[in-house]
Each structure stands twice: as structure tokens, then as C-alpha cells.
Chains A and B, each alone.
Chain A
Amino acid sequence: MDTLISVITDTVLITLVLALAAFGLAIIYGLIGVINMGHGAMLTLGAYFTWSLTRHGMPFVASVLLSASAVGTVGLVFEHLIIRHFYNRPFDTLLLTWAFFLVATEVIKIVFGTDFRNVARPIEGAIDIGIYRIPAYRTIVGGLSILLILSTAFILYKTSLGIKIRAMVQNREMAGLLGLNVAFMYKCVFGFGSFIAGLAGGLIAPMYSVDPYMGNTFLVRSFFVVIVGGIGQVLAGTLFGSFTIGGLETVLALFSDQVIAQIAVFFIAVVLLRFRPQGVFTGR
């Protein structure tokens, strides 16, 4: 029983944290079809900005928000200068965003150095539930992840902006012909996705090692999350994908060691893709 409770809480928390890390990628990939290889670098940038700001005495929450805005701005500039000219050529955007990753990583190393950095956890301690202690900060981040996904869902499905975005996703040309400013909306989506990546980077900084390559750990997993969940299935897809890639590993590790659990997870992901190549949540 103890084990069961701890496995469930672990699984939920892992799923939510991974969903947060993958969400920016899911938005950009799912809504405007750009395979953002720079996603990892955006997470890293968010973490480093947060580290830098908190070190200069700014409160944690303000630091994270400012960092996310900064990364969002970087994304907007990158989109305006380069990406917007390549929306019709997805493979070129893949190379361009990869180049963004390389350049950003080197700049991070030059500006912030190559040492490990640490961001102090804003909330110390663990929530004691009798048999088991749940890390307090991680729980809050998990909560924020739900909040973020729900509010994005609200925007997408309950506002006129959301209707426009969905129209654009369904048929870009038609949406343009009907008078939507497609170029502007693409820019907003790219900027928002970058903002979310920066936000995630800042929020996970106190839980993980902050080093120039920290985003890489999440890049591959994030891609699996998006592809398993289904491209364009920003909400349910992201959550399901995160559960498959992150949560399942914890469950499997009950019965085997870590190495086998990790291999099994990716194996299951591949099998899922074999039978649902469009992603689990995408109708055929």
C-alpha cells in the first residue's frame, strides 16, 4: 500500500514536470509545425537567466517570470529574423533551430561559464504524508504545470484567439484568405512557445543540474512526448506522452532495474508509434 501510494505520487509528479518541460516544444511543433531543435537551449537559457537574476538578489518568482519573458523575446527575434522566412520548408527550420541550439549553447558558455550552477530551492523541505514525504517544491511545479496546460486549453478552446489559431492550424491558406493575419499569429505562437520553454527552464532549475547542456536531457524526451502524444494534440497528447515517457519508467522500475526500465519505455514508445503513427491522440 505504501509502495502503491508512493508510486502513484511519483508517477504523477514526473508526468507533470516532464509535461512542463515538453510543453513549449508541443506548442511550437503542434501549432505551427516547426521542429524546434532549439527547445533544449531555450530551457537552458531560462535556467541560466533565473540563476543569474536570483544571484543578484531578485526574488525567485520575479526571476522566473523575467527569464521566461527574456527567452520569449529571444524566440520572437529569432522568428522575425530567420524562421518566418522558412515556414514552408520544415526541414530547413529543423536545421536552423539546430543552429540556434549550437549558437545559444556556446554563448551560454561564454557568458555564464562552463561550471555547474545551482539555484536555491525557493521552498525547502518535503510534505510529510505519514508514510512518505513528497518534495514540496516539485509538487508546486507539478501544480503550475496543470495550471499552465489548463489555461492554454482555455485560450485554445474558449476564446476567439483560440478559434483563430485552430483555424490556422487546420488550413493556413484558407485562414489567411478569410482575413486572419497568419504571419502575426505564427509569430505569437513561436514567441509563446519560447516563453513557455524559458518558464519551464526557470522552474526546473532548482531541481536539476544547471549546466550548458541541461536542456539536452529533456530535448529527446520532449520529442518523444510530442510524437507519442500526437502532433497538434497539445493538451491531452502532451500529458499522455509525458506519462508514457516519464511516468511509466517509474512503474517499470518497480519490476526491473533502471537501465531495463528506460529501454522498455522507449521500446513501448516505438511500438505505440508503429500502431498509431499519428500519435495516440490523433484520429486517423
Chain B
Amino acid sequence: MTENKKSRSITRRQALGAMAGTAAVLGTPALIRPAKAADPIKIGVLSPVTGAWTVYGQAHSRGFELAVEEINAAGGVLGRPIEMILADYQTDQRLVVEQANRLLRQEKVDLLAGTFSSADRNAAGPVVKAADKILLYPTWYEGQIKDYYPGVCNPNIFMFGPEPTQQVWPFMEYMVSNHGKKFYMIGSDYAWPRVTNLFTKEKLQELGGEVVAEVYIPFNTPQYESVLRDIREKKPDIIFHSLTGSDTVNFAQQFHAAGMSKDFTYWTVDDEEVVTSGLGPEVSAGHFVSFDYFMTISHPNNKAFLERYKAKYGPDALMNTVGVGMYNAAHMGALAIAKAGKVETAAIREGLKELTFDKAPQGPVKMRGLDNQIVVPSYLMKVRAGWTSVNDMFEEVQSVPSVEPKDARCDLPL
């Protein structure tokens, strides 16, 4: 009993000592830090390196890596280098949460970049909200509607990819007047295709077009015969396509094999360089594709960018809209920190708003302050028949140098 008491009192004393020690330890870095100027700024990058979106993971992480290398070669930000910490979330939304938390708590990153699909971003939304850290999101996506908060309409998330009023709307008039008014919508069964189609229908109505069918397909569906039959029966003019991953390849392969390519116009808002490579020249020939970036666009920024990219990753390395989104995100994140003068969430957020980046590969871009949405160029391309590589895959049909999107459907300003 006595011993117990004794030990307890010692413990208490020890506790006090420990507390003092902790305070000293905690206090010290604050004193040392300004002196240690070369302390890196840490950015956690959430990338789908394995799992279903593996195919996109490489361009995704490389775009960011290249930008970080460029920033550091130019002396870093505020005299500090940037350290990129890559986390693979294996295309699993639970792992997005886990990895985001690990990066924030264990790696103590200053901000986050990445996630690929809208489902991944929506998983990361609550995490960055709770931790009050910035997330730079690179992918083309469905636009912001309040229902999906905090995955969107979140003041901490900045969108570097185009949304439907930028990716689809600018070309609808051309498509409707040249290829017909009847749309057959087919997409994967999740948020991005559904909301993208919602926006597309809105504009289509304005133009006097009609949607003959709207079909959503579960992930990893190998067979599309019933859809193909439905398409033949409903006789649309345009197949408006937003399937993703291997499903888009499986569908297009079977669509072509059924001899339907010549009967319908095929407009996809998903098949960038990676997917179109998977389709091959036979199957993809003549498809219309719209995005903010293509490897084949002729902007001088792009030529310089691809030279640096290929010097680092080899002449056959693929780039796409997501990789460029990540590239711009890294550069603009760094510019925002430089503008803010400190690495702190509120300051970075202010720094990003209305920030312009003239060196973006697709042409100058601007981060809109109102709703954290990038203002980008937009391109409608046609897949060249008999293309041999990503370097001659697309030919330009129409382009808009800068597309101001519709205001996000959130409580603005963010």
C-alpha cells in the first residue's frame, strides 16, 4: 500500500517532469524552424498506383513529380524545397481516407493533392475538411452541386480539371448541328457520369435535342450485347459516352466489332490518351473526344512541356488531362505559397484564388476565386484514322482558348 502511494507520488512528479520536457521539446522546433530554412514543404499525393485506375495512376503521379522537380530546380518556394510524399490508395475509397489521414497525421504534410475519380475525391472531402488542409484535385469531373458536399463545394478543395460546362457545353452546338439531335447516353454507374449527363441534358434541351436513352452500367461489366441492341432499336444520332476504366474499352471494342462504328457518331468525355491507346487505331478511329488537354494540341507551352516530360520518362510516356491537372496543381500550389509568404491553409487558399498560371501545357489557366474552379481552354478532337501513337492520335475539330464555367451550385463564394 505504502509502496503504491509512493510510486504514485513519484509518478506524479515524473509526469510533471515529462510535461515540462514535452513543452520544451514542443517549444524548441518553433524556435529552430525559422533558422532551418531548408526544411521541405511536404505535399502528400494520393494516387491510384494499383487497383482499377492503375492505368491512370502513372500520368497522375508523374505530372506532379515533374512539376515538383521543376520547382525545386528553380530554388523551391520561400527558399524551401518541396517534398512529394506519394501514397497509393489502391483505387479503394476506404484507403483514400486511411492514406489521407496517414499523410496528415504521420507524415505531417502541409497540403494534399490528388485522388482520381469523383468517388475518391468525395471520400477525401470530409478528411480535408476536418483537418483543415487544402486538397488539389486534378481530374475532369461532374461540377459542383451542393448535394455532394464536402466532396465538392468545399472551401478546401480546388478543382484543376474541367467540369461539364467547360468540357461538353462549348461543343454541343457543333455536335448537334453537324451530327444530329438524338443522344444516347451511356455511362458508368456513379456520380460523375450521372451529373455530367444531367448538365448535358440541360444544354441539349436548350438546343432542341432529345435524349433517347440514358443507361448506366455497373463497374467491370464485360458484355454489352443488350445495350448494343437497345442502341440499334432506338436509332440515336450520337452516342454520348461516359463509361470509365476497362468498361469503356470493353464497350467500344464490342460496339466496333458489331459493325456499328459507321452508323453512329461516338462522342466520349472519358477516353483520353490512356484509354484511346487501349482501344487501338481500328476501334477508336473517328471518335469525338473533348477535354482541356491533349498531347497533340499545338500550343507552344505544350511543346516545351512534352519535351521536358519525355526527357524524364522516355519518348513513349503517356500524358493526359489528369497528369496535366496534377502538373498545374503542383505549380499553382507553389505559386500560391510564394504569394502567401507562409505555409498555412487559410493563406494558401487566399493565394490560390484568382491565381493565374501562364505556363500551363494547355495554355494559360486561372483559378476562379468564387468557386475554386479552374478556368481552362477546351478542345474537341477527333481520333485520327490509323494513328500510330499518342503523338498523332487526335486532330483538332474545335477549340476555345478559355472557358469560363457556370457558377458552381454551392453556397457561394466558397
Contact = CB atoms under 8 A, between A and B. Distances in A.
A243 B221 CA distance: 16
Interface stretch (B211-219, B234-242, B392-400): B211-219
Nearest to B249: A209
B257 to A, nearest CB: 4
A79 interface: no
B254 to A, nearest CB: 7
B208 interface: no
Interface in A49-64: none
Interface residues of B, number: 42
Interface in B14-49: none
Contacts of B221: 217, 258, 262
A134 B50 CA distance: 36
A115 B318 contact: yes
Contacts of A126: 257-259
Interface in B221-246: 221-223, 225-227, 229-230, 233, 245-246
Interface in A82-130: 109, 113-121, 124-126, 128
A254 interface: yes
A6 interface: yes
A233 interface: no
Contacts of B250: 207-209
B57 interface: yes
A78 interface: no
Query: Which of the four size classes fits the interface of chain A?
Result: 35 or more
B249 A116 contact: yes
Interface stretch (B96-104, B139-147, B273-281): B273-281
Interface in A199-230: 206-214, 216-218, 221
Interface in A123-161: 124-126, 128, 133-138
Dominant SS among interface residues on chain B: helix
Contact of A121 (B189, B225, B282): B282
A264 interface: no
A269 interface: no
B78 interface: no
A94 B78 CA distance: 54
Given A116-B55, A207-B253, A250-B226, A258 B275 contact: no
Given A116-B274, A216-B220, A253 B226 contact: yes
A81 interface: no
A26 interface: no
A280 interface: no
A213 B54 CA distance: 9
Output the residue of A17, A121, A134 with the most chain B CB within 10 A.
A121
Contacts of A6: 229
Interface string A1-33: 001001100100110010000000000000000
B282 A120 contact: yes
Interface in A242-284: 246, 249-250, 253-254, 257-259, 261-262
Interface string A181-206: 00000000000000000000000001
B278 A115 contact: yes
B222 A217 contact: yes
Interface of A: 3, 6-7, 10, 13-14, 17, 109, 113-121, 124-126, 128, 133-138, 206-214, 216-218, 221, 246, 249-250, 253-254, 257-259, 261-262
14 contacts: A6-B229, A114-B58, A121-B282, A124-B282, A126-B259, A209-B245, A209-B246, A212-B54, A214-B246, A218-B222, A249-B223, A258-B218, A258-B221, A259-B218
Given A126-B257, A253-B227, 6 more contacts: A113-B58, A133-B260, A135-B254, A213-B246, A249-B226, A250-B226
